[in-house]
Amino acid sequence: MTMKDDYKHKGLRRQLGEGLRQKGITNEAVLKAIDAVPRHLFMDAAFLEFAYKDTAFPIGAGQTISQPYTVAFQTDLLDLKRGDKVLEIGTGSGYQTAVLMEMGVKVFTIERQKLLYDKTKNLLPQLGYAPKFFYGDGYKGLPNYAPFDKVLVTAGAPFVPEALKEQLKVGGIMVIPVGSGDVQMMTVLQKTSESGFETTELKQFRFVPLLEDKQW
Ligand code: SAH
């Protein structure tokens, strides 16, 4: 793979950013992060023309790279502060991971598909991103690395996994698309005490499912 990011890609990215603004993304730090990540390098070279369209796209293994609007929307909701410890469920292509890293946070990311885990663990460091990668089940989170300031789930969850609620710091925020059908409700949970959560539902999105019962 050639790791090229030239004026053409940068121009396309600027247009993508303008499109996101028009769709209502106003968080300048998030728009700057989107502008900094070479999304075309997360996709097959044959699909360059799709790299900067605001759509999701297949990345193999039946999975997708999230739509830039969705990535921007979720990243904004996390209310990230530099140095935050963030748990991400569903590494996939690593595009969302890269956007998080551009926000100056520490990322712990989990993927259950070995192929994607291997591919992305190899790719991201080549692009200068060094999150901590884990091959495992997002429903369980990472008890050994908890607590986290923020938790981001990038697959549609039928319910909010209890382990992820536990692993969130008091005062922390979880962003998770909830629903077991075709569409999920983007949901924000703010942890107000050891057992208390304030829940806000925003709007519907479409994600690939957060899968359970993997045969290990
Ligand atoms: N954030 C990704 C989008 C990934 S799509 C990106 O920007 O490209 C959702 C990902 O969640 C897929 O890669 C899928 O394999 C993964 N996934 C599904 N169920 C999971 C689980 N239980 N634990 C961890 N990852 C899971």
Tell me, what amino acid is at 122? N
Could you tell me what percent of the chain has a pLDDT over 70? 98
Q: For the domain bounded by 7-205, which CATH number is listed?
A: 3.40.50.150
Pocket test for ligand 1, best of 34, 47, 63 (most atoms within 8 A of CB): 63
pLDDT in tens, 81-96: 999 999 999 999 999 9
Q: Sign of dihedral through CA atoms 89, 121, 47, 98? A: positive
Does residue 180 have an active-site annotation? no
Bigger pLDDT: 50 vs 188: 188
What pLDDT shows up at residue 214? 57
For ligand 1, what atom is nearest to the CA of residue 110? 24
Mean pLDDT of the chain: 94
Helices (H), 23-127: 28-36, 48-51, 68-77, 95-102, 114-126
pTM of the entire predicted model? 0.96
CA of 65 to the centre of ligand 1 (A): 9
Where in the chain are the domains? 7-205
pLDDT in tens, 152-208: 999 999 999 999 999 999 999 999 999 998 999 999 999 999 999 999 999 999 999
